[in-house]
Amino acid sequence: MFADDTELYKSDSPSEAFTLSRTIEACISDVKVWVVQNKLQLNDDKTEILLIGSAPGIDLPSSVRVGHSDISFSSAARNLGVIFDSELALKEQVNKLCQLAYLEIRRIGSIRQYLSVEATKTLVSSLVLSRLDYCNALLAGCPQVLLDKIQRVINCSARLIYKASKSAHITPLLFDLHWLPISSRIQYKIALTCFHIISGTAPPYLSELLRLYSPSRSLRSASDTRIFRVPRVCRRTLGERSFQYIGPVIWNSLSFSVRHATTLSSFKS
């Protein structure tokens, strides 16, 4: 529950989808009673219902009853600034992200002639890169075609800073700016979260998702106490994109010296 947003999540097997919708209706009814008792208001007509599932042809009613309104299932819904769709493809999120980023680039470009390189770099970092870094860990495992769209935004930003032409080679510019490609930025974010879990500075709701690996018999790798267990997942249900899977995969791929960094600053370096 947030100040202006109440969210309700429920999961079940596809065979129980119809029962799931009825359970959701009952839960919403209870929440509505609690809201009224606490002198608050639940906006029935502003409620959104999103069904996320990988099984085709799920038998569901056409709408869910919320108070006095019948709410149809949405194809996408915004949650804390991220647009989720029913297939977790995040295409709409990436398209909207790129649209807003290009808008900021055009605005900065209109006054670029009056700005120094450092001033332009500061504006791009605060108005463009900050958008690309927000919740970008959700894009782990997404198709490369979506990541390429975001990478083109980064390349455009680098050319804007140095007033380079579209045909200019982008790698030297990114190297000079010390900017990682989008795929590496995502891996960096996830690896940093794993480091906080290892060091005990992560919140419990993240720490409880990962488990350290402990071999069943004595092995040479048993002395390495900073390896996470990689769980088995189902690719059909997008399990390989979950933090429980992609986090240990990225973390375990780091070198021994990086995983055993003693401080946050040394790990980032």
Domain residue limits, the chain: 14-74, 90-179, 190-268
Closest CA to 229 of 241, 216, 238, 218: 216
Q: What is the pLDDT of residue 105?
A: 97
- Comparison of pLDDT for 13 and 152, the residue scoring more: 152
pLDDT tens-place string over residues 236-246 = 667 888 999 99
What's the whole-number average pLDDT of the chain?
A: 89
Above 80 in pLDDT, residue 58?
no
Above 80 in pLDDT, residue 216?
no
The DSSP string of 21-79 is: HHHHHHHHHHHHHHHHHTT----GGG--EE---SSSS----SEEEETTEEEEEESEEEE
- Rounded to an integer, what distance in angstroms lies between the CA atom of residue 231 and that of residue 246? 10
Per cent of the chain over pLDDT 90 is 55
Above 90 in pLDDT, residue 21?
no
pTM: 0.83
pLDDT tens-place string over residues 95-134 = 999 999 999 999 999 999 999 999 999 999 999 999 999 9
Per cent of the chain over pLDDT 70 is 94
Please state the rounded mean pLDDT for residues 247-253. 94
